Amino acid sequence: MATVVQNAPNNAVTLTFSTSIDTLATGAYSVPSDTVNNVSGSATTSYLTVAVRLAFSAALTAGAGTPYITLYMLEARDGTNLPNPPGTAAAAPAPGARQVTMPLVASGAFSIVDFPEMEVGSYDVAFQFLNESGVDFSGTVTATAYFGSPEV
């Protein structure tokens, strides 16, 4: 079992995807990212939280209505296999998958979407997006996970 370290410095990890999220269509799910191990060093440190930033190289304009982007955190508790669904597919995750939805301003520009911290265990995780922004992603899209521990 990994030791939890309070007040550890953030560990930023750029997420990689087997199929690029640079052109993720509106209304579509991304494939899950490659798994990220939440245990660092010699398997003795585990972070308590993770926050994710989605950054676009050029601002996009959200659609009308109630645009949003949802982030799913998928847990590979055995260190290898993601829950199925989605497995490795660009499909809806199983009901109950951890998620956070960020609303966007209707018809407003956005270039960074910051998802709030979620609790994370000491196992591998992957991330998946649902694009309901009303616009296809374009340009270069970078997703970064920031693992950390809240101050006590």
Indicate the domain borders of the chain.
Answer: 3-148
pLDDT bin (cut points 50, 70, 90) of residue 4 is low
Architecture of domain 3-148: Sandwich (2.60)
Tell me the C-alpha distance between 147 and 3, whole Å: 15
Q: Is the dihedral of CA 148, 79, 98, 104 positive or negative?
A: positive
Q: What is this structure's pTM?
A: 0.90
Q: At which residue do the structure tokens 């660009």 appear? A: 90
- CA distances (Å), origin 146, targets 50, 71, 78, 118, 119: 5, 14, 22, 10, 12
**pLDDT of 41 strictly over 70:** no
Which two tokens mark 133? 């922004």
pLDDT bin (cut points 50, 70, 90) of residue 53 is very high
Least confident of 37-41, 84-88, 95-99, 119-123: 37-41
128, amino acid identity: Q
Kindly report, residue by residue over 112-143, the tens digit of the pLDDT.
999 999 999 888 999 999 999 999 999 999 99
Residues in the chain: 152
Chain centroid offset of residue 140 CA? 16
